[in-house]
A and B are shown apart, each in its own frame.
Chain A
Amino acid sequence: MSPAQIALQLAIGLSFGLLLFLLASGFTLTFGLARFVNLTHGSVFLVSAYVATSFSGRGSYGVAVLAAGATGLLLSVVVYSLARLRWSRVGSDELVQVLLTFGVLLVFAEGGRVLWEGLPRSLPEPGFASGSWQIAGLTFPGYRLFMGAAALAIAAALWWLQERTRFGAMVRAGVDDREMLEAVGISAGPLFLAVFALSGLLAGLAGGIGAPVLGASMGQEYTVLVLAFVIVVLGGPGNLKGAFLASLVVGLADAFGKALMPTFAEFTMMGLVVLVLAWRPQGIMGGAR
């Protein structure tokens, strides 16, 4: 590969990795704080993406992305409410969580299939980012740059929320030691609700911002779920910094894997997981909080 092509793959990998962070950050938060394996995350992404694409042709891009975010938030709150009905059973047993949320994942995805007839859909790029950049004979679409920048901005806001606010302090404390958090008088219930809502919002925004590139299509609920799993395993559960780093690593591995070994592209990502787990079973940043 020429230096220009390496730069192009870097750009492709980083912009995709940043989008993946939006997707995985919510998953890792509910996993880390509430000890809740929320498999519905994949279908929340899918339905939000479908909502965004239904604005194509009418309404603006901004409305589409916000509607996707709102959809994600709403669906995640529904999932939390469902789990809350039998929290004593669901809250502590991961097997029950997996069964419950996998069922809800199927319901959401099938609901999306009925509403949008199962057809793959896409969202046109907004006018301000529809051009392309020409560098050294190579072309890079402007929207991918915007996608990366938007995801980076949301990641920065998330960092501020996590590190600089009382809410973030409570979440971090909860991830480290939930019993101690409750012992100092902070009720876990409202905190969990907020984290679920935030997680859904992030998945929804990822679906909306990703829609002009990834679109919405049946089956996506599983592919994005696998990516989120990989990132959480690599980054360490509940660790936002770890998830950020892992997302970029996964994005880059995906880009260079496809470019260098197209036939083994799907293997590169799983190979990465095996390597990292052999080297650091607790994740790249696990235990380094």
Chain B
Amino acid sequence: MPSTHLFARLRRRPARAALISLATVVCGAMALAGCGGAATSHGNSSDNTIKIGVLLPYTGPFGLYGKPMEAALRARFAVDHDRAGDHKVQLVFEDEATDAGTAVTKANKLVDQDGVAAVVCCATGAATLAVGPILAERHVPQLGPIPNPDGLSKFKTAAVAAPTAGHDAGKLGTYAADKLGYGTAVVIASDFDYGHEVADSFKEQFIAAGGKVVKEVFPPLGTTDFASYLSQLPHADVAFAGFAGADAIHFVQQYDKFGLKKKMPLIGHGPLVTELVLNQIGKAAVGVGAGFYYSSTLDTPENKRFISTMTAANPSFVPSHFTAGAWATGSVLLDAIARAGDKAGDGDALAAAIRATKIDAPWGPLSFDPQTGYAIAPTYYYTVTSQNGKLTHHDAVQMP
């Protein structure tokens, strides 16, 4: 039994010798990994396989989005049998842990060790912006799967497969004044980048369309009890809210509980009543309006294909803009790699191909602004209704 013999010998070794041998093994492994990484990144252009790195949060506060988004990307690639043109495409997933520092480390790992041709990043704004300059410097295309903050436009190799949050909120501002006929509004949003972006855009467009903002309130991110903020809101024709996640659940529930919904209609940017929070909010969400680029109820062939493919694999699948965005990101990549052809391994060429993509996304036609790299997509207005005890969006109309 040579193996037991070896174990026995190892155990007899003094601790220091064991440490030294461990250190040697670790150093050796690191050197090997370095060589391997260099080899793959050089061999990339001649090899027919294109690797795509994907940075998603699997742990930390946004950890819930990683797995479903991975499933949607994989499912979209599987529809095309993991092939784009003459290339075989392969996805490499890494956990960005809802942390900008980790995202940077993993982005470097994807480029250096895995030799990826492009990186899908990220589901959180801070990680997206932190990874941006690193990938741009190395001419590796970056593709954002969901509405990312508007700080990527300065990088020619970056693109986002969704309009900015501010874009959709601005459209809602115009729509609220012009079509919904509201003259005055109260604006209440989370006190961080996202909240301020949607609040500012809504306010700007609402005022430009002749509306008046009576008051703006910014409760901190992670507020669970909005009661005191709500009771101090002045009266206006409408309230615009910019909250996401747990904050959205608490806000909409308490807005109803404190009797405000009866006095002042509530509208907001999409995440306020996304499918992921809708049934947790409960009846309080009925009648709330939202401006957004995606709803699972949109009647497009691509949305039906997306939902039926995902539901076939997982019957309890809940579609949302996170997974629809991951699906559309897959479509963009497959299309761009096929069009880039032999040049798909060249970062600048692939980035240009991505920005030139015109495809059908679950929410309708998707193309990119050649100047900024952000997606050009329709924006819809819909309200929440209750059907057979289940809450759902309805009456989605495209905003002008």
B282 within 8 A of A: yes
B171 within 8 A of A: no
B21 within 8 A of A: no
- Pick from B64, B228, B254, B276: contact of A254, CB below 8 A: B228
Q: Which residues of A contact B217 (CB under 8 A)?
A: 262
A270 within 8 A of B: no
CB pair B61 A8 closer than 8 Å: no
A213 within 8 A of B: yes
A16 within 8 A of B: yes
> Residue-by-residue, is B240-269 near A (CB-CB < 8 Å gives 1, otherwise 0)?
000001100110011001111000000000
A120 within 8 A of B: yes
Q: A216 to nearest B CB, angstroms?
A: 8
- Pick from A5, A110, A219: contact of B231, CB below 8 A: A5
A178 within 8 A of B: no
> Residue-by-residue, is A110-127 near B (CB-CB < 8 Å gives 1, otherwise 0)?
100100011111101000
Q: A284 to nearest B CB, angstroms?
A: 23
CB pair A141 B281 closer than 8 Å: no
CB pair B229 A119 closer than 8 Å: no
List A248-289 residues whose CB lies under 8 Å from chain B. Answer: 254-259, 262-263, 265-266
Whole-angstrom CA separation of A144 from B224 in the bound complex: 14
Q: Which residues of A contact B191 (CB under 8 A)?
A: 263
Whole-angstrom CA separation of A12 from B219 in the bound complex: 16
B280 within 8 A of A: yes
Q: Assuming A217-B246, A220-B224, A223-B224, is B280 touching A259 (CB within 8 A)?
A: no
CB pair B259 A132 closer than 8 Å: yes
List A128-166 residues whose CB lies under 8 Å from chain B. Answer: 132, 134, 138-141, 143-144
B25 within 8 A of A: no
Most A C-beta atoms less than 10 A away, residue of B231, B260, B277: B231
Q: Which residues of B contact A254 (CB under 8 A)?
A: 225, 228
Identity of the chain A residue whose Cβ is nearest the Cβ of B221 in the assembled complex: A219
CB pair A12 B63 closer than 8 Å: no
Whole-angstrom CA separation of A110 from B229 in the bound complex: 31
Q: Which residues of B contact A9 (CB under 8 A)?
A: 228, 231
B194 within 8 A of A: no
> Residue-by-residue, is A204-231 near B (CB-CB < 8 Å gives 1, otherwise 0)?
0000000001110111100100000000
Whole-angstrom CA separation of A134 from B260 in the bound complex: 12
CB pair A119 B222 closer than 8 Å: no
Q: B27 to nearest A CB, angstroms?
A: 29
B314 within 8 A of A: no
Q: A142 to nearest B CB, angstroms?
A: 9
CB pair B228 A215 closer than 8 Å: no
Size band of the A side of the interface?
Answer: 35 or more
B309 within 8 A of A: no
CB pair A124 B282 closer than 8 Å: yes
B208 within 8 A of A: no
Q: Assuming A139-B258, A139-B259, is B61 touching A219 (CB within 8 A)?
A: yes
CB pair B222 A223 closer than 8 Å: yes
List A45-76 residues whose CB lies under 8 Å from chain B. Answer: none
Q: Which residues of B contact A5 (CB under 8 A)?
A: 231-232
CB pair B218 A255 closer than 8 Å: no
B365 within 8 A of A: no
Identity of the chain B residue whose Cβ is nearest the Cβ of A257 in the assembled complex: B228
Whole-angstrom CA separation of A259 from B227 in the bound complex: 9
List A81-111 residues whose CB lies under 8 Å from chain B. Answer: 110
CB pair A122 B281 closer than 8 Å: yes
Most B C-beta atoms less than 10 A away, residue of A5, A113, A120, A220: A120
Q: B73 to nearest A CB, angstroms?
A: 18
B220 within 8 A of A: yes
CB pair B63 A120 closer than 8 Å: no
Q: Assuming A223-B222, A258-B229, A259-B231, is B280 touching A218 (CB within 8 A)?
A: no
CB pair B231 A214 closer than 8 Å: no
Q: Assuming A113-B63, A139-B259, is B232 touching A120 (CB within 8 A)?
A: no
B59 within 8 A of A: yes
CB pair A122 B253 closer than 8 Å: yes
Q: A203 to nearest B CB, angstroms?
A: 16
Whole-angstrom CA separation of A132 from B246 in the bound complex: 23
Identity of the chain A residue whose Cβ is nearest the Cβ of B188 in the assembled complex: A262
Q: A136 to nearest B CB, angstroms?
A: 12
Whole-angstrom CA separation of A215 from B247 in the bound complex: 10
Q: Which residues of A contact B63 (CB under 8 A)?
A: 113, 118, 218
Whole-angstrom CA separation of A140 from B223 in the bound complex: 19
> Residue-by-residue, is A1-35 near B (CB-CB < 8 Å gives 1, otherwise 0)?
10001001100110010000000000000000000
CB pair A120 B249 closer than 8 Å: yes
Whole-angstrom CA separation of A134 from B259 in the bound complex: 9
Whole-angstrom CA separation of A118 from B222 in the bound complex: 15
CB pair A119 B228 closer than 8 Å: no
Whole-angstrom CA separation of A183 from B115 in the bound complex: 69
Whole-angstrom CA separation of A53 from B69 in the bound complex: 25
Q: Which residues of B contact A113 (CB under 8 A)?
A: 59, 63-64
CB pair B282 A138 closer than 8 Å: no
CB pair B250 A117 closer than 8 Å: no
Identity of the chain A residue whose Cβ is nearest the Cβ of B226 in the assembled complex: A258
Identity of the chain B residue whose Cβ is nearest the Cβ of A210 in the assembled complex: B224
Whole-angstrom CA separation of A121 from B224 in the bound complex: 12
CB pair A255 B220 closer than 8 Å: no
Q: Which residues of B contact A143 (CB under 8 A)?
A: 257
Q: A138 to nearest B CB, angstroms?
A: 7
Whole-angstrom CA separation of A162 from B245 in the bound complex: 40
Q: A84 to nearest B CB, angstroms?
A: 29
CB pair A110 B59 closer than 8 Å: yes
Q: Which residues of B contact A138 (CB under 8 A)?
A: 231, 259
Q: List the 3 shortest-distance A-B pairs measured between CB atoms, nearest first.
A: A139-B259, A118-B64, A217-B246
Further 18 A-B residue pairs, CB within 8 A, beyond A12-B231, A122-B253:
A1-B232, A8-B231, A16-B227, A118-B61, A118-B63, A122-B250, A138-B259, A139-B259, A141-B258, A144-B227, A213-B254, A214-B225, A220-B246, A255-B228, A258-B219, A258-B232, A259-B229, A262-B218
> What are 9 A-B contacts with C-beta separation under 8 Å?
A9-B228, A120-B245, A120-B246, A120-B249, A122-B253, A124-B282, A213-B224, A214-B250, A263-B191
